[in-house]
Structure 1
Amino acid sequence: MLTRFIQFVTTIFTPRLRRIIRRTVITLSVTLFLLLWLANQVISHERQYTYDNVEKVPYNKVAVVLGTSKYLISGGLNQYFQNRIDATADLWFSGKISQIIVSGDNAHMSYNEPREMRRELLKRGIPARAIYSDYAGFRTLDSILRAHGVFGQTRFTVVSQRFQNERAIYLARHHKLDVIGFNARDVDAYTGFKTRTREIFARLWCLFDVYIWEREPRFMGEQIEVE
């Protein structure tokens, strides 16, 4: 039986067919590489609107903090989360913002990114009246467009690591929003390897969202006034 199967496969995959398959695979691989490279070049251009030094950040009334899990799967503290909280506190106590929108995923009762961010900011001494929660920030696109569509903001500072800030700013400026980014500290290369690898593909997906699918946030909801 095995011998017959091998003979059958050998018959199907003739030298000519194998050459066609090989060329197709090479062509698709090169195309994907070029698309990923192009997406990175386009979105990296938004770096000019990001800041590393809090003293140089222009004042905006509102900061939108992009959510992530507080803890890693291993149970340890997620440094991406911690560094975003640190950056937001720096903006607040430097007088660079007056209100904060914490935007993230609230997939179920036991997973609530905005709640965790709010708790940490309260611990830092930021008053509750200055913190607004966006529980439908499932993706970067949702967080940015809901900041405008739900919270009424056309100008704000987004807070995350630089790689995500660049993508967020690209989305915002495509939708005519005046947005800058304050870069939270990044993590070391080993810890951030999976996230940075995912970001390579997220940038291409971002361009698809904008130019092909024209995606909108999953939910919009009623207007919330940021006083």
Structure 2
Amino acid sequence: MKISLAKFLRLGVWLSITLILFVLGTNIWVVQSTKSSIYTIDTVPLNNVALVLGTSKRTVEGKPNRFFVERMNTAASLHLDQKIKHIIVSGDNRTKYYNEPRDMLQALGDLDIPEEDISLDFAGLRTLDSVVRCTEVFGQNKVTIVTQEFHCYRSLFIAQYFEMEAVAVSADNGGPIGNALALREVLARTMAVLDLYVLQRKPKYLGEEIILPIKS
């Protein structure tokens, strides 16, 4: 049976509208269900452990990545202010030339954070991987997530799905994030909903439990 061009176009319009509403609805869900758990350095409650989500040390232009700098400064401030005792740095180490956890370890060391208070998670390939590994590998169900505000919502949404007692600290210094990154995050929130509730994805790597050397 042939479909007329007019019917085909109407179908395309309705599909587009449905997709837009789905993206909008999932973003509202992610943001509204997590916004009350986002704090500043001054207001965040005490926790033993901070989970710092990885990002590249430099931009594609080779310049320092302000998101990386902000996350390191925020994590260091939390530690120095005794808002947390231990830091998990979780990120990608896809090659010997690209290693987010090692870069974060070095940056935190430069900010006077003792190496024994930092644990490295080399399998934080995605936000989902980092959050789930925090509880299933590192045994931490109560944690303070450190990242930029736009990323806090999705991170907390994943943590809440896995019944973690998570809060987040916004590492923003007020700079713009750019339209491309904003759109990417909007789509990533929708994908997080699909990953959790439809595809039921798990981290690529888990492994044996790692006991953190948290000071009493």
Residue in structure 1 matched with residue 28 of structure 2 by the alignment: 41
Q: Taking structure 1 as reference, are residues 221 and 195 closer, same or farther at Cα in structure 2, changes over 3 Å only?
A: same
Post-superposition CA distance 1:122-171 (Å, at most 9, x none): 00000000000000001000000000111000100000011211111111
Which residues in structure 2 correspond to 1:50-89 (within 5 Å)? 50-52=38-40, 54-89=41-76
* 1:71-120 superposed Cα distances (whole Å, 9 cap, x missing partner): 11111111111111111111111110000000001111111111101100
After superposing on structure 2, the runs of 4+ consecutive aligned residues of structure 1 that deviate more than 4 Å are none
Residue equivalent to 2:134: 147
Alignment pair present for 1:225 and 2:172: no
**Is 2:108 the partner of 1:117?**
no
Q: What residue number does 1:7 align with?
A: none
Identity %: 36
Once residues 180 and 92 of structure 2 are traced to their aligned partners in structure 1, the CA distance between those partners, rounded to angstroms, is 19
Deviation at 1:188, TM superposition (A): 3.2
TM-score normalised according to structure 1 size: 0.90
Question: Unpaired segments of 5 or more residues in structure 2?
Answer: none
CA distance in 2, matches of 1:162, 1:212: 26
- Pairing partner for 1:183 from 162, 166, 170: 170
SS in structure 2 of the partner of residue 30 of structure 1: helix
> How big is the shift at 1:187?
5.9
RMSD over aligned Cα atoms: 1.3
Name the counterpart of 1:192.
178
* Residues 80 and 186, structure 1, Cα contact 8 Å, conserved in 2: no
Q: Secondary structure at the match of 1:182?
A: strand
Partner of 1:107: 94
User: What is the aligned partner in structure 2 of residue 90 from structure 1?
Assistant: 77
Aligned CA distance change for structure 1 residues 41 and 169 (closer, same or farther; 3 Å)? same
Q: Could you tell me how far 1:198 is from its partner in structure 2?
A: 0.3
1:186: how far off?
5.3
Q: CA deviation at 1:196?
A: 1.3
Could you tell me which residue of structure 1 aligns to residue 196 of structure 2?
Answer: 210
Amino acid at match of 1:216: K
Change (3 A) 1:37 1:87: same
Q: Which has the larger radius of gyration?
A: 1
Superposition deviation, residue 24 in structure 1: 1.5
Unaligned runs of 5+ in 1: 1-13
Task: Determine if contact 1:80/1:187 at 8 Å carries over to the other structure.
Answer: no
Is the 1:55–1:94 Cα contact (8 Å) retained in structure 2?
no
**Distance change >3 Å, CA 25–CA 150, structure 1 → 2:** same
Match of 1:10 in 2: none
* 1:162 corresponds to: 149
TM-score normalised to structure 2 length: 0.94
